[in-house]
Amino acid sequence: MLSRLIRPEILQVESTNDCFLNCKPCMRRFLERPVGYIDVEEFKKLPLKSFKEVCLHGWGEPLLHPKLFEMVRHVKSLNVKASMGTNGYLVNRHIDEIFESGLDEISFGIYTFEGREKAFSNLERLIEEKKEKKAEKPVVFTDVTIFRDNYEEIPELVKTFVDMGVDGVVLHRLFNVYKVDPSVEYISSKEEKELFKKVKKVGGKKVYLPTKHFKPCRIVLYTMFVTWECMQCSCVYLSDDPVGDARVDYDTMLKRHLKFVSGMRKHEVCRRCFW
């Protein structure tokens, strides 16, 4: 039975879909949902305790949410791992809260050197603060989207991150199956293979490469996504296509999730996805 094989343990919650950047590989600018911020009391109604990890990141910059760390502390009070992804620009304003809240993991989404000086500076500062405090948490990752425009600079990006002292560098493929921006393209299979060799050479065991795509994909196997409106979706890339209200028990969410998985091979987006 699917329920024995698929029991997602990560809940990805979109604290907000608001952002002050307009990154070229990001699909946020093409989504149809209104911009908003999750209500903290409604957030607490989600079955958070039923998951091993709650990741406070979606189609926006989490640090824009004025009560983000109240949510982090609530997750930690449930004995659940708390993580988040950020573009890095506002980290300097929240250094103390990042350590005091108990946040387990933070990922900086940086895909290019150009115009990202603030993000690099804040990443370096966070790593230095962690060393000074002799803190084990948060674990610090960088996340790099691979696509045609940044293909040449990725090895140098990886080397820079490793030299700075990050705990890991995660690379993932561009997701543009919607073809929302035809100017944004992925690289060829041959180029990908060559790139992977280069980054492993400079980054070693700290580099995490994207795996071969399969169905059901690793996303639906391990993760459920909730929008800032508290709507359940089967994947962050299907945030405009909710399957129901997420303020329910885990079993109800799982039942909906499994129904989606059983037919995902027929889903137009899933059929074309290679993320």
Q: What are phi and psi of 137, to 5 degrees?
A: -125, 155
pLDDT reading at 4 higher than 80: no
The DSSP annotation for 239-274 comes to: TTS--EESSS-HHHHHHHHHHHHHTGGG-HHHHH--
Both structure tokens of 105? 């993991």
For the segment 160-216, what is each residue's pLDDT rounded down to a tens digit?
Answer: 999 999 999 999 998 876 677 888 899 999 999 999 999 999 999 999 998 776 667
State percent of the chain over pLDDT 70. 96
Angle of the 117-133 helix axis to the 154-164 helix axis, nearest 10: 30
Average pLDDT of the chain, as a whole number:
92
Return the CATH architecture of domain 2-272. Answer: Alpha-Beta Barrel (3.20)
| Mean pLDDT score, 41-59 | 97
| Mean pLDDT score, 10-36 | 91
Domain ranges, ordered by start, for the chain: 2-272
In the chain, how many H helices and how many E strands? 10, 10
What is the rounded (10 degree) CA torsion for 201, 161, 109, 135?
120
For the segment 111-166, what is each residue's pLDDT rounded down to a tens digit?
Answer: 999 999 999 999 999 999 999 999 999 999 999 999 999 999 999 999 999 999 99
